[in-house]
Amino acid sequence: MNNPAQPRIARLTADPTRSAALPGYLYSDPAVFAEEKRRLFHKSWQFVAHESELPNIGDYVCATIVDQSVFVLRGQDGAVRAFFNVCQHRAHELLTGRGNVRSVIVCPYHAWSYELDGSLRAARATRSLPDFDPQEYGLAPVRLERHLGFLFINLDPEAPSLATLAGEMFADMARELPWLGELAVNPDESFIAERESLLSANWKVMAENCLECYHCAPAHKAYADMIDVGHYELTRHGAWMKSAAPLRRGDSSAYRVGPDEPVQYNAFWHLFPNIEFAVMPGSRSLSVFHFTPVDAERTRIHWVALTMPGETLPQDRLNYLGRVLWLEDAAICESVHRGLKSLGYRRGRFVAGTDHASISEINVHAFQRRYAEAMGLAL
């Protein structure tokens, strides 16, 4: 039996209509993932929390950026700061989850303690140590930027500022969503304001899935019933991209959207490499999806939902997002990940012609080109 002919297009070129996709090994090779940690995740801006999660002095939220634990904390002066989550004595982690440390951070190992500004407050039995200067043993700070109430950190002190990379994205979000500054993470534990799922797929598979609607009609039938996918608009702006489409019908099989509700469209803002902001039709709310890799073949998905104070997402919308749309995407991504390891997969093509712009994969192509550049790959 003859082997299938190899595709003539075999490179990731600047022209999306003449470009091959990334080779499959990049989605499962542990050596590639190790390089991604160094080149991407230790150098890119990562979402940690929303400022509404830190209303009081001493409030903190921990986060893990691949293999690095960090936390953000509101200090005595009201300022929010970020630190590596490690004691400067013998490297025990200081905090877990989220909570409040009142007035001091105490290491659970040997009880070294730190002020809320990160300076060393006390270190037991060190007064007689020669050349011991407490000022040299404060917590290691992490760069932090706040945009529209969202808190981002970057482990690389030399990386370009987030304002430089994506300031226009935040400006666009503020124009589109004039009520964005009023949103907060709902503190009511009966409302699932933050969800976490473990996906058996590489993080890039999930990111790429969110960057196109070519799959919407066959894979998300209720979504295509609600959203006018024939008028899907895609734009690219360097470190960020946007996808948007109007509401098709309010009585769709996804969930009901009344004609008087404030949001009559769907929009996604993607911040390279692994953060997605989403607004869905209906009430004034915003979701943040953070795709944090665990290893080359598993991704932890954090979903943070922000609503107007005192409001929650309607149950039919929650059910659709969490029990229909997410499950469809999870199954898609896990299948694609398995397929990328198949000996029969030979680098696909992008559907990126101008004749069907609304279902174009041009944003996926832009993502892969930026990824290859950041990784120093000539593909």
How do residues 114-127 score in pLDDT, each as one tens digit?
999 999 999 999 99
pTM of the model: 0.94
Give the pLDDT score at 132: 94
How do residues 284-337 score in pLDDT, each as one tens digit?
999 999 999 999 999 999 999 999 998 988 999 999 999 999 999 999 999 999
Please answer whether residues 152 and 276 qualify as being in contact, where contact means their C-beta atoms are separated by less than 8 angstroms: no
- Provide the CATH number for the domain formed by 16-43+167-375 in this structure: 3.90.380.10
Q: Which fold has domain 46-154?
A: Rieske Iron-sulfur Protein (2.102.10)
Higher pLDDT, 1 or 21: 21
Whether residue 2 is predicted with pLDDT greater than 80 in this model: the reply is no
- If you average pLDDT over every residue of the chain, what do you get? 94
How do residues 255-281 score in pLDDT, each as one tens digit?
999 999 999 999 999 999 999 999 999
Residue 5 pLDDT level (bands cut at 50, 70, 90):
low
Numbered ranges of CATH 3.90.380.10 in the chain = 16-43+167-375
Torsion of CA 267, 248, 320, 261, to 10 degrees: 80
- 36-47 average pLDDT score: 98
Show Cβ contacts of residue 270 under 8 Å, excluding neighbours closer than 6 positions.
207, 210, 211, 240, 241, 242, 243, 276, 277, 363, 367
Numbered ranges of CATH 2.102.10.10 in the chain = 46-154
